[in-house]
Amino acid sequence: MNKLILAVAIAVAGCNTPEEEAAPRADVVETASDSTAIAPDSVRGDRARRAAPPTQFDAKTIKSGDRIGGLAVAAANLTAARTDIGMSGSVRFSGETEVTGSYRAHFDYPEVTEPCFWVDFESLAKLPRAQGDQRLIWFCFENRDVAIQQLGALGTQAHATIIIDDYTTNLQQSDVWDTARLVRVVRKEALQ
């Protein structure tokens, strides 16, 4: 009888509540074109996690001089568009910020030869994001030669903490990516 009660208790404990069933699965990652802010660091083997929303701004009202988190809006080049965000274009921010994440070539490498950086969960709130923008947060380096020199040749994979400036979020509905300028590498750990 005690074994039957124990088996029922274990079975009930394993059942999901309605809230858990409605919650998104943390182990599901969408494609880059329609992805949300859940992402595994597949290079390190971490499980995907639901990301806290990064510092958000209203793309319809943002203007040069505004401050979003620790960064200043240097230029806002946006126009109304039929998108989830309601705007298309880009916003460039000035000010240095430190982020941690994974360095590797653009995911279309070797066709696209850009050194890029996928931001870790812990650093998401340091980079501004338009309200409604649910894409993964990653960027390629404007000063690609400096990034390759300091972080490694294309094909190198590393987990790093870096200082960036001139972060630009691109909201166009086309094949563009966010960009940033590498200032310096604080710490780097090569990955196999």
pTM of the entire structure? 0.70
Q: Note the pLDDT tens digit of each residue in 59-116.
A: 999 999 999 988 999 999 999 988 778 899 999 999 999 999 999 999 998 989 999 9
**Rg of the chain over all Cα atoms, to the nearest angstrom:** 20
Bond preceding residue 110 cis, omega within 30 of 0: yes
Q: What is the pLDDT of residue 21?
A: 37
3-state helix/strand/coil string of 1-51: CHHHHHHHHHHHHCCCCHHHHHCCCCCCCCCHHHCCCEECCCCCCCCCEEC
Strand partners, 150: none
Residue 12 clears pLDDT 90, i.e. is over it: no
Q: Note the pLDDT tens digit of each residue in 125-136.
A: 999 999 988 888
Percentage of the residues of the chain whose pLDDT score is greater than 90 = 55
Q: What is the pLDDT of residue 192?
A: 67
Which is more confident, 138 or 173?
A: 138
